[in-house]
């Protein structure tokens, strides 16, 4: 019913709400896999959704085209051949930039920023777009931001950035110089991944293309240009990306559910697209929305027990051996309580609301800890 503005409901399993929807828009990183392996229970949850004849459309902010993304999902053990489709930010941007270049809405001379790939097939991203690759901002009509490891990709003046922006998030060296030169000229930038950060397979956070684009926005503003007009993002949370998928699914948007872990892109995007949303709290915002409960009962119980043991000892009511035994029981009991589900991190709706306010205020329809059936 596209009730993003209503009160968020906490659920434990997607099976609780699955019958309310005829189709699923599904994020990938942080929800169904971490880039290296599926998240616990994700393959089973996908299987069960498909059993219910609900079409699944992957909607991801990956810079890769849809083909390589589909192939990776198959390698990770997902029945991707049964998915209705895959739309990545890279695929979205590829088609929209190609169409604008062909229609003359933008120029065709492109200064390309990209990643370093071991997979050589990733180096032909612009093939078929009708663009001319140039080596400097002075020659370019616009910038294409697909990664932060290589400047002037595809030219004989290609330069490799000497540090890892994804690890430190700092703008410096030839990457900074190239963007500064472009900002002075007021060049448009097309960003193929709006995400600011992403969770890496080892659990750490990495800075992504959206963070570099944000630096460029500030550079443009400092030069007196309007970054809203000049910086174009693809994928989520753009309404165009959601409309793309909904058109392919041919379903009533009120009967479609977006599942993702980004408040800025998945949940805000769901509101833009007019669909309900399920927020996965264990993903990128886990530190903001998952709280440690205060173990008052266990603490008081342990302290009370130890106090009683001390009293008995002073009165010589118990032998040393008995005190040691009772102390072990008290400590073990407190430990088991602390390890129980009562004291696991829990979703805080108050914290969720506060976190969402930083990204436009869109509240998810539902929230659950992990993507599981």
Closest CA to 245 of 80, 87, 92, 22: 87
Q: What is the pLDDT of residue 293?
A: 61
Q: For strand 290-291 and strand 346-347, is the pairing parallel, antiparallel, or unpaired? A: antiparallel
Please check the confidence at residue 330 and state whether its pLDDT lies above 50: no
* Average pLDDT taken over every residue of the chain: 88
Return all residues near 153 (Cβ < 8 A) that are at least 6 apart. 112, 113, 114, 123, 133, 146
- Tell me which of 96 and 359 has the higher pLDDT: 96
pTM of the shown model:
0.84
C-alpha span between 285 and 261 (Å, rounded) = 7
CB 187 within 8 A of CB 143: yes
Write out pLDDT tens, residues 27-64: 999 999 998 999 999 999 999 999 999 999 999 999 99
Closest CA to 30 of 270, 352, 236, 284: 284
Query: Which two structure tokens, joined as six digits, stand for 69?
Result: 């993304």
- Tell me which of 292 and 372 has the higher pLDDT: 372
| Residue 37: HSE in the Cβ half-sphere, 13 Å Cα cutoff | 6
Q: Which single residue is written with the structure tokens 């080892």?
A: 202
C-alpha span between 45 and 24 (Å, rounded) = 12
Q: What is the pLDDT of residue 295?
A: 52
Query: Which two structure tokens, joined as six digits, stand for 31?
Result: 């929800």
């Amino acid at each position: 019913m596209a009730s993003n503005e209503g009160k968020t409901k906490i659920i434990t399993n997607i099976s609780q709400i699955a019958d309310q929807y005829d189709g699923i828009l599904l994020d990938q990183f942080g929800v169904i896999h971490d880039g290296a392996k599926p998240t616990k229970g994700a393959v089973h949850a996908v299987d069960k959704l498909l059993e219910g004849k609900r079409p699944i459309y992957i909607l991801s902010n990956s810079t890769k085209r849809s083909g390589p993304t589909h192939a990776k999902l198959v390698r990770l053990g997902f029945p991707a051949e049964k998915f209705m489709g895959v739309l990545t930010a890279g695929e979205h941007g590829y088609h929209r930039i190609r169409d604008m270049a062909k229609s003359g809405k933008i120029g065709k001379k492109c200064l390309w920023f990209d990643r370093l790939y071991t997979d050589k097939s990733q180096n032909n991203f612009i093939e078929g777009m009708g663009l001319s690759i140039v080596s400097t901002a002075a020659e370019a009509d616009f910038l294409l931001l697909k990664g932060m490891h290589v400047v002037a990709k595809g030219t004989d003046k290609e330069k490799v950035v000497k540090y890892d922006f994804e690890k430190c998030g700092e703008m410096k060296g030839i990457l900074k110089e190239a963007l500064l030169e472009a900002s002075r000229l007021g060049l448009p930038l097309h960003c193929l991944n709006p995400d600011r950060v992403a969770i890496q397979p080892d659990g750490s956070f990495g800075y992504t293309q959206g963070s570099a684009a944000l630096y460029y926005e500030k550079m443009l503003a400092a030069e007196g240009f309007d970054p809203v007009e000049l910086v174009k993002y693809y994928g989520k949370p753009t309404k165009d990306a959601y409309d793309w998928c909904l058109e392919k699914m041919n379903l009533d948007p009120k009967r479609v559910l977006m599942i993702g872990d980004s408040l800025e892109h998945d949940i805000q995007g769901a509101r833009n697209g007019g669909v309900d949303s399920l927020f996965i709290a264990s993903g990128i915002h886990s530190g903001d929305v998952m709280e440690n409960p205060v173990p008052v009962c266990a603490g008081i119980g342990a302290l009370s027990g130890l106090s009683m043991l001390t009293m008995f000892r002073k009165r010589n009511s118990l032998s040393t051996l008995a005190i040691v035994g009772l102390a072990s029981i008290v400590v073990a009991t407190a430990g088991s309580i602390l390890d129980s589900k009562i004291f696991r991190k829990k979703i805080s709706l108050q914290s969720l609301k506060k976190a969402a306010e930083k990204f436009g205020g869109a509240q998810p329809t539902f929230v659950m800890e992990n993507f599981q059936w």
